[in-house]
């Protein structure tokens, strides 16, 4: 199956509609396509070819959108680097993905490892070429790294078919109206932000862009109705609610919904949102599923609190080993939105077994088919919408000469939902400050443990497997 090159097709279909709005500027689909084509010519002018893999390291905002679309028009597979990563973390992803070049914002250039070819593309000459008119559905558009249980992040391939089926299934579930404007305050290197750009092209919908999440501006736009939908994690949602309540303002009648990902939204938030005229759609998705797999309709938000809803139209969910509704087990996902696999060192690892993605998450389906996610995969910590894997932090910690063993678990945090806490079995004397500094040099800031506890031994089971849930309990007892 093929799909027309989204950027060209959209510019042909609705050239004069607003594609991107940012601060007080806006660009039509024709203008975005023209800027992207200009960038694509410069990118190809560096000698890179159709099908090459390149990495993007950017700070967000409209220039990042033009760069992304330029890279897609140039025919590249885009490795979407998280700008919060350290140089070491970036070096791993660039090396692992085999990216031939990194296109970075000037402000981020110093973070790019010296060994990598950095292209200062925008000053280049450019080369005329004809972008392909059709994309095969199995064409890889993006690669996003997600940390794994081993501590080595895995590069997830996201194809045109993955993004397309995700965007379409979302529209079938949430509807689509003339004049829809999606507020994007999520990073564009994340699937949460990138998927909004895909929807914009496929729906012909305006994206209202924030370079970084701005709670004040978000609350204002929701109240004014200059946006109709927003994606948010709980930590962002509650800040928007606080502001609206403090100002005694409500959502405009034009504002339709907030799509809330990155863990369940507590029911008090849902009630507060409802009182302000805001519908909350809770969703369950991940990098491997190019955004939403299941989404809870607003009408079921209170009746099914804690649920992530039903699978979207093209998708199926089943619970491994479940014999009846309510049985708990690993959540398995099937559908055209599921990644075909990984790149780099995990390229041999199958992403699906008999057509099913094994998420590692534990959940259950109730009698009506609503999904409840009970425990995130492999003790995943979700902190302000960012995924953090304990194993990755533990691996850094045991690299410190004073650390014999390390165990990391997510603990409650009022602002971020969860934060990582580290439990250390020492080899020699070391302070929390020293370990924090050590981590900061090697890990993105949001991954650095907020708490350090020194213990005599770590809880392990008979086969010596670390019991991270017991760490969490131990932490709660100490607080």
d(CA 50, CA 48): 7
Q: Which of 47, 88, 133, 321 binds its own copies (CB under 8 A)?
A: 133
Of residues 62 and 335, the one with the C-beta less far from its own copies: 335
Q: For residue 315, state whether it binds its own copies (rule: CB under 8 A).
A: yes
Q: Which of 107, 109, 117, 172 binds its own copies (CB under 8 A)?
A: 172
Phi-psi region of 466 (alpha: psi -120 to 50; beta: other; left: phi over 0): beta
Of residues 109 and 172, the one with the C-beta less far from its own copies: 172
Q: For residue 369, state whether it binds its own copies (rule: CB under 8 A).
A: yes
Question: What single DSSP character describes residue 473?
Answer: H
Q: For residue 69, state whether it binds its own copies (rule: CB under 8 A).
A: no
Nearest to 68 by CA among 141, 167, 159: 141
Place of tokens 């991107």: 20
Q: How far is the CB of 125 from its own copies (least distance, A)?
A: 30
Q: How far is the CB of 33 from its own copies (least distance, A)?
A: 13
Q: Which of 110, 178, 367, 428 binds its own copies (CB under 8 A)?
A: 178
Do residues 295 and 175 lie in contact, with contact meaning Cβ atoms separated by under 8 Å?
A: no
Q: How far is the CB of 135 from its own copies (least distance, A)?
A: 11
Give one DSSP letter per residue of 326-387, joined into a string.
T--EEEEEESTTS--BEEGGGTTSBSEETTEEEEEEEEEE-TT--EEEEE-GGG-EEETTEE
Count of residues engaged in binding its own copies, rule: CB under 8 A: 31
Of residues 95 and 300, the one with the C-beta less far from its own copies: 300
Q: For residue 12, state whether it binds its own copies (rule: CB under 8 A).
A: yes
Region binding its own copies by CB under 8 A among candidate stretches 166-174, 386-394, 395-403, 427-435:
166-174
C-alpha separations of 13 from 4, 37, 78, 179, 204 in Å: 12, 17, 25, 16, 8
Query: Six-digit token pair at 280?
Result: 């909350």
Q: For residue 341, state whether it binds its own copies (rule: CB under 8 A).
A: no
Q: How far is the CB of 267 from its own copies (least distance, A)?
A: 23
Query: Six-digit token pair at 34?
Result: 């023209």
Q: For residue 314, state whether it binds its own copies (rule: CB under 8 A).
A: yes
3-state secondary structure of 243: helix
Q: For residue 285, state whether it binds its own copies (rule: CB under 8 A).
A: no
Report the residue count for the chain.
479
Q: For residue 263, state whether it binds its own copies (rule: CB under 8 A).
A: no
Q: For residue 469, state whether it binds its own copies (rule: CB under 8 A).
A: no
Q: For residue 203, state whether it binds its own copies (rule: CB under 8 A).
A: yes
Q: For residue 137, state whether it binds its own copies (rule: CB under 8 A).
A: yes
Of residues 59 and 171, the one with the C-beta less far from its own copies: 171
Region binding its own copies by CB under 8 A among candidate stretches 197-205, 224-232, 258-266, 396-404:
197-205
Of residues 357 and 397, the one with the C-beta less far from its own copies: 357
Region binding its own copies by CB under 8 A among candidate stretches 11-19, 43-51, 84-92, 187-195:
11-19
Q: For residue 303, state whether it binds its own copies (rule: CB under 8 A).
A: no
Nearest to 243 by CA among 226, 268, 220, 264: 220
Q: How far is the CB of 19 from its own copies (least distance, A)?
A: 15
Surface-to-core class of residue 367, CB atoms within 10 Å of its CB (0-12 exposed, 13-18 middle, 19+ buried) = exposed
Q: For residue 325, state whether it binds its own copies (rule: CB under 8 A).
A: no
Q: For residue 17, state whether it binds its own copies (rule: CB under 8 A).
A: no
Do residues 319 and 364 lie in contact, with contact meaning Cβ atoms separated by under 8 Å?
A: yes
Q: For residue 175, state whether it binds its own copies (rule: CB under 8 A).
A: yes
Give one DSSP letter per residue of 295-340, joined into a string.
E--GGGTTTTTTEEEEE-TT-EEEETT--STT--EEEEEESTTS--
Beta carbons within 8 Å of 142's beta carbon, 6+ residues apart: 77, 78, 79, 80, 157, 158, 163, 194
Q: For residue 4, state whether it binds its own copies (rule: CB under 8 A).
A: yes
Q: Which of 61, 98, 336, 360 binds its own copies (CB under 8 A)?
A: 336
Can you give the binding site for its own copies, defined by CB under 8 A?
A: 1-4, 9-10, 12-13, 15, 133, 137, 161, 168, 171-172, 175-178, 202-204, 310-311, 313-316, 336, 368-369
């Amino acid at each position: 199956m093929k799909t027309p090159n989204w950027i060209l097709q959209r510019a042909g279909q609705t050239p004069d509609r607003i594609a991107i709005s940012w601060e007080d500027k806006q660009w039509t689909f024709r203008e975005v396509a023209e800027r992207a084509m200009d960038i694509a010519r410069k990118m190809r002018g560096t000698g890179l070819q159709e099908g090459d893999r390149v990495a993007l390291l950017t700070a967000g905002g409209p220039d990042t959108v033009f760069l992304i679309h330029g890279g897609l028009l140039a025919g590249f597979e885009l490795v979407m680097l998280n700008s919060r990563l350290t140089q070491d973390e970036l070096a791993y992803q660039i090396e692992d993905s085999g990216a031939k070049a990194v296109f970075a914002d000037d402000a981020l250039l110093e973070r790019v490892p010296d060994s990598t070819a950095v292209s200062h593309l925008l000053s280049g000459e450019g080369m005329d070429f004809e972008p392909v008119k059709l994309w095969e559905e199995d064409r890889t558009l993006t690669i996003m790294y997600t940390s794994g249980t081993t501590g080595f992040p895995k590069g997830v391939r996201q194809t045109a078919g993955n993004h397309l089926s995700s965007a379409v299934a979302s529209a079938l579930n949430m509807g689509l109206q003339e004049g829809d404007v999606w507020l994007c305050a999520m990073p564009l290197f994340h699937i949460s932000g990138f998927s909004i750009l895909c929807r914009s092209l496929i729906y012909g919908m305006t994206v209202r862009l924030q370079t970084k999440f701005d709670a004040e501006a978000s609350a204002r736009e929701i109240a004014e109705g200059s946006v109709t939908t927003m994606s948010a994690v709980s930590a962002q949602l509650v800040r928007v609610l606080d502001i609206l309540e403090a100002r005694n303002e409500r959502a405009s009648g034009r504002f339709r919904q907030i799509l809330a990902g990155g863990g369940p939204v507590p029911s008090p938030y849902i009630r507060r949102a409802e009182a302000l005229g805001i519908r909350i759609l809770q969703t369950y998705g991940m990098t491997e599923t190019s955004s939403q797999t299941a989404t809870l309709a607003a009408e079921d938000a209170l009746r099914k609190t804690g649920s992530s809803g039903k699978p979207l139209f093209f998708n199926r969910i089943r619970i491994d080993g479940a014999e009846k509704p309510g049985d708990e087990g690993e959540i398995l996902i099937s559908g055209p939105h599921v990644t075909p696999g990984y790149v780099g060192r995990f390229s041999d690892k199958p992403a699906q077994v008999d057509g099913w993605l094994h998420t590692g998450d534990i959940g259950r389906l109730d009698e009506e088919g609503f999904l409840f996610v009970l425990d995130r995969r492999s003790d995943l910590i979700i902190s302000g919408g960012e995924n953090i894997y304990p194993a990755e932090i533990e691996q850094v910690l045991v690299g410190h000469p004073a650390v014999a063993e390390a165990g990391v678990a997510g603990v409650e945090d009022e602002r971020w939902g969860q934060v990582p806490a580290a439990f250390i079995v020492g080899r020699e004397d070391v302070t929390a400050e020293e370990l924090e500094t050590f981590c900061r040099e090697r890990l993105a800031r949001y991954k650095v443990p907020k708490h350090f506890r020194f213990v005599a031994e770590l809880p392990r089971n008979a086969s010596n497997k670390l019991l991270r849930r017991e760490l969490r309990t131990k932490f709660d007892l100490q607080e």
